[in-house]
Structure 1
Amino acid sequence: MARIIIAEDDEIVGEVVRDALIADGHGVGLLTNGKDALNVVKKRMPDLVILDCNMPDLNGLLVLREMRNSPALCDIPVLMLTGRRGASDVDIAYYEGANDYMKKPFDPDELVFRVQELLEKHRSDKLAPRR
């Protein structure tokens, strides 16, 4: 079981993501804006964060940037789940430090699969000896 924070301002999308991840055995928190999500991430240190790009108060890319600039948060895997579909949007997200990028609409089973991959990679990276 992993602790996952979702920042998604679309209630239906957020519930679909939350329900799929809970069904897979994860503990999930759902927030509707980037500012609240960043505050919770700072306090609860989740195993993974899922961010929408377009949110009130603080968009997903700014949350991601804040996380990557914080020594305490910089290693948390981040999946961008967004309606932004352009190649430049994907490039910007990866440049800012996203570990993965999914476009809406999405398949909940694929989302769960990609979350599992990110969590496994993060665990194996933490176990790998540092040089």
Structure 2
Amino acid sequence: MARIIYVEDDDLAGLLVQEVLTEAGHLVGVIGHGTLAYETIAFKKPDLVILDRALPGLPGMEILKRLRQTPATYLTPILMLTAKRGEAMADEALRAGADDYLIKPFTPEDLVQRVEAALATKQFTAGRRAR
């Protein structure tokens, strides 16, 4: 079971992702404001962060950049989950440090598969660093 924070200001999308990932065995908290989300992530240090791009307060891209510049969250897997389409948008997020970029609408299976892949990569990296 992974502790996941999903940063999403759309209540329906938040509930959907929370339900899908809870059924997959994870604990998911949803935060609808970028500034509050950044502060919570920095304090709680979840196993995975899922970010929307467009948020009140800090936008998702700014949260991503700050998390990658903070030693305590530098290696936290981050999945961008957004309605913002386009190769340039995905490239920007991946260059800024996102581990994956998923576009809404998505299938529950695809979301779970990408979350599991990000968590497996984190576990592998943590194991290599412990040696």
Cα separation, 1, equivalents of 2:62 and 2:20? 26
Moved over 2 A (4+): none
SS of residue in 2 equivalent to 1:56: coil
Q: Would you say how many aligned residue pairs link Structure 1 and Structure 2?
A: 131
Other-structure match for 2:15: 15
Deviation of 1:130 after TM superposition, in Å, equals 7.4
User: Are residue 84 (structure 1) and residue 84 (structure 2) matched?
Assistant: yes
Cα separation, 2, equivalents of 1:130 and 1:44? 22
1:11-90 correspondence to structure 2 within 5 Å: 11-90=11-90
What are the Cα deviations for residues 45-69 of structure 1, in whole angstroms up to 9, with x where unaligned?
Answer: 1000000000110110000000001
Deviation of 1:129 after TM superposition, in Å, equals 5.1
Other-structure match for 1:109: 109
Cα separation, 2, equivalents of 1:108 and 1:13? 12
TM-score, scaled to structure 2: 0.96
Gaps of 5+ in 1: none
Gaps of 5+ in 2: none
What is the root-mean-square deviation in Å for CA atoms of aligned residues? 1.2
Deviation of 1:125 after TM superposition, in Å, equals 1.1
